[in-house]
Amino acid sequence: MIDFTVYDESDAPEAARPMLEAAKKRMGFVTTLNGVMAESPELLAGYNALAEQFGKSSLPGPAKHVVWITASVENGCEYCVAAHSTLALRARVPAEVVAALRAGKPLDDAALEAARRLTRAMVAERGWVGDAEIEAFLAAGYTRRHVLDIVLGVGMKTLSNYTNHIAHTPLDPAWQDQEWTRDVPGGEVIAS
């Protein structure tokens, strides 16, 4: 296994330090994901820019969490599933919704289920989503802009998911309560 350094705001490459300092102010700590990404200040800047833009996107807040968790589950990213599960619960996304997303199971809420299905198809089919899936998403009350917002969210998660895969990013203590392991059939939660 190739070791990647987990930097902080004091030892990161110079161009990454301001971004890590800003992350620490925003989150209260520098995530290990950001610390790994700091090796490439451009990757860190790109990820931060996509995260900011996705945050501003027209998707409703709960649907954004659906995109983050669904893409991460589909990509098998243990780090991001744990992190986004924690953040979703903090944002008051119902625990049963988060649990279903982590297990890759359908949601009772029709609008959120449409977002889950389109995100899953987007990742699984590498963007080659059939018209029927997009029509079902639109029929659930979403717009064409929302379709493209999901593309943005999937792009954001692709950067972090792939980084975590190759770097074996250690899970931050803040996400430990929502630890998730992809090797479990059905994606059930593994208790810490």
Residue pair 54/156 in contact (Cβ under 8 Å)? The answer is: yes
Nearest to 36 by CA among 22, 19, 50: 19
pLDDT of 187: 47
Polymer length of the chain: 192
Q: How many CB atoms lie within 10 A of CB 124?
A: 12
pLDDT of 83: 98
Q: How many CB atoms lie within 10 A of CB 177?
A: 13
Residue pair 98/89 in contact (Cβ under 8 Å)? The answer is: yes
Residue 164 has pLDDT above 90, yes or no: yes
pLDDT of 131: 96
Alpha carbon distance 120, 111 (integer Å): 14
What is the pTM (predicted TM-score) of this model?
Answer: 0.92
- Is residue 74 left, alpha or beta, with left meaning phi > 0 and alpha meaning psi from -120 to 50? alpha
Using DSSP's 3-state secondary structure scheme, residue 42 falls into: helix
Alpha carbon distance 163, 71 (integer Å): 14
Q: pLDDT tens digits, residue range 20-75?
A: 999 999 999 999 999 999 999 999 999 999 999 999 999 999 999 999 999 999 99
Sign of CA dihedral 117, 118, 120, 121: positive
Q: pLDDT tens digits, residue range 76-112?
A: 999 999 999 999 999 999 999 999 999 999 999 999 9
